[in-house]
Chains A and B, each alone.
Chain A
Amino acid sequence: MESDPLLNRCPGENTKAGDYVEYLDPGAQPCAPCQAYPPRMQADGKPLVIGLLSNLFADASVFLNDLRVPLSELFPDVEFRCYDKGSVQRMSFVVADDTRDSVIAECDGVVCAYGHCGSCTSGTTQDVLAFAHAGFPAVALVTEKFRDEALFLARAGGIPDIPFVFLPHPVAGKPAEYHQALARAIAPAIVEALAQGRVANMASASLAVRN
């Protein structure tokens, strides 16, 4: 076989100016253009209604329920409404249109829980993206194991700065006392996410519980 002196040159060898191989990029860019995350939950002195949207992953509904007490302490006169995605088969998909519309019509903000596996992190992130695209305040709860995936999906979905509150992994299967302590620890971050559209220190609350 005839050798090509250019192609067979080892790395580090000197190359003459103009000696190079051109090649094409196999990758693609996200189709969704980037936009800012604008929604903020407005108190306006009236009682707030917060939606609790469960994807039905193990203990997700239980954990959302545990958020009621600490959130009530931070939001006086708050009411809660519970929703779910219908079945475990739907946890990896975006929330159904009718459920999304009900949440928007009946609530002032929504907590989506939780990203605890690969596909359900995708589904939970898509839920918050769907609410954000509708201009509705939402926050995603995702365990730390799936942080990189969640942030990647937010960028791919066109709104990189949707708010996340990251939880220690795992949450499912932990005792009730642990759930309650974790709920209390992250409640301020949820309030911050819904009211200000961001979470300044996404790791601090969960670390406090883990330690």
Chain B
Amino acid sequence: MRARNEQAAAEALAVAGKTDGLPVVVPTPERVEEMLLNAGNLPPDAVLGSLLPLGGALTVEKAAINAVMAGCSAEIFPWVIAACEAICDAAFDIGPLQSTTHCVTPLVIVNGPSRYDYGFTSGVQALGPGQRANATLGRALRLILINVGGGVAGIGDMATLGSPAKFSCCLAEAEEENPYGPLHETLGFQTGDDVVTVIGVEGPHSLLFTLENFPGNEEALLRVFGAGFANPASNNIYFGNSAMVAVFNPFHMRILHDKGLSRRDIQERLYDYASIRRKDFEAIVGLNNANMSPQKGEILRAAARPEDFLIMVAGQEGGAYSVYFPSWGGGVRGQHAVSKKVRLEQGCEVPDSLR
């Protein structure tokens, strides 16, 4: 495609509905070529999968074009490829996620020893502005969902309101602050692996919990998390079939560890606390979606199993806030994490931080 200049090219992409509404870097052949240098031994026409609802083939080249548009540095392209492989995995069920009126979007979690070398961050504002690697990896995925998957607003993406998280939703884990080991280890990978995990979630919800120490504070913290996950305004308590993500800040995680809880203890308590008695639930919601819930019995639970609570650590030291991500619950299987190993050894460029 041709345009009179870069401004005209960027405008043409926006008018054609091929952006997320924000300005993009124009994907010139030279920039895409540079991105492709980091694809390792994957040729540009290698197909990573297809994406519904359009059913377009996601080639390595299409991933590179969209990564350029998102503003990715070329060196993080192996992480983009891993994220692409994850959303193309049949277990991720991308079709319903794209089409639903819910605001669900892929959360991208970056793990592994190389993550900081590539600029990913897990600390202050990990989910917010100013973190280029986090922001652009998440944005690349959104542009791919629009351009290759057909997730265009009002046609292939029917979200009632959408969410700012749909522009980008990506963070690294503060693995060194997680006394139970990094998230990807619990998902079947080696600690030394570099891994991208995706899961369909709502945007981040803030959780306030005191920094003071008091008897029973570990149980109180987990009850607050549980009440958040079981919130009748979110879907999980209706469907009870999906994974969710609890992002503890380092201080909150130490409360749990110092009181002798294991990761499994945390998950089991969240499973117990993320629940509500049916009569209390119905007193709140009335007949709202009563015919939608497949749950039986007197206790409604946000999750089907303790292991559906993904436990990780991120955020600034010293704040009283953690974050939790409810999910959508639609689809046959609900939402669950899909992880892919990053093939850095096949990349061609050494990140700036290691030069």
Query: Could you list which residues of chain A lie within 8 angstroms of chain B, going by C-beta atoms?
Result: 6-11, 15, 19-32, 58, 87-93, 117-119, 121-123, 146, 148-149, 152-153, 156-157
Contact = CB atoms under 8 A, between A and B. Distances in A.
B9 A23 contact: yes
Nearest to B63: A26
B13 A92 contact: no
Interface string B87-129: 0000000011001111000000000000000000000000000
A93 B154 contact: no
B233 interface: no
Interface in B1-59: 1-9, 11, 13, 16, 18, 26-29, 32, 50-58
Contacts of B239: 89
Sort A-B residue pairs by CB-CB distance and give the 5 closest, nearest first. Answer: A28-B56, A118-B158, A92-B96, A119-B100, A122-B99
B236 to A, nearest CB: 13
B241 interface: yes
A23 B96 CA distance: 31
B330 interface: yes
A30 B56 contact: yes
Contacts of B18: 25-27
Contacts of A119: 96, 99-102, 158, 330-331
Contacts of A21: 2-6, 8-9, 26, 28
A92 B100 contact: yes
B141 to A, nearest CB: 13
A117 B158 contact: yes
Contact of B4 (A11, A90, A123): A11
Contacts, number: 159
B241 A89 contact: yes
B1 A157 contact: no
B57 A24 contact: no
B158 A22 contact: no
10 contacts: A21-B2, A23-B27, A24-B65, A27-B16, A27-B56, A28-B54, A89-B332, A90-B332, A118-B157, A122-B99
Contacts of A11: 4-5, 7-8, 11
B143 interface: yes
B69 interface: yes
Given A30-B56, A89-B330, A156-B55, A25 B1 contact: yes
Q: Is the interface of A mostly helix, strand, loop or mixed?
A: loop
A121 B95 CA distance: 11
Contacts of A30: 54-56, 150
A91 B7 CA distance: 43
Given A6-B5, A21-B6, A28-B54, 6 more contacts: A25-B65, A31-B56, A32-B55, A88-B291, A118-B158, A156-B52
A143 B116 CA distance: 48
A122 B53 contact: yes
A179 to B, nearest CB: 16
B57 to A, nearest CB: 6
Given A26-B62, A88-B294, A118-B99, A19 B4 contact: yes
B275 interface: no
A31 B62 CA distance: 14
B155 interface: yes
B55 A9 contact: no
Contacts of B226: none
A87 B329 CA distance: 13
Contact of A92 (B28, B95, B155, B157): B95
Contacts of A123: 96
A9 B5 CA distance: 7
A90 B93 CA distance: 12
Contact of B3 (A23, A117, A118, A156): A23
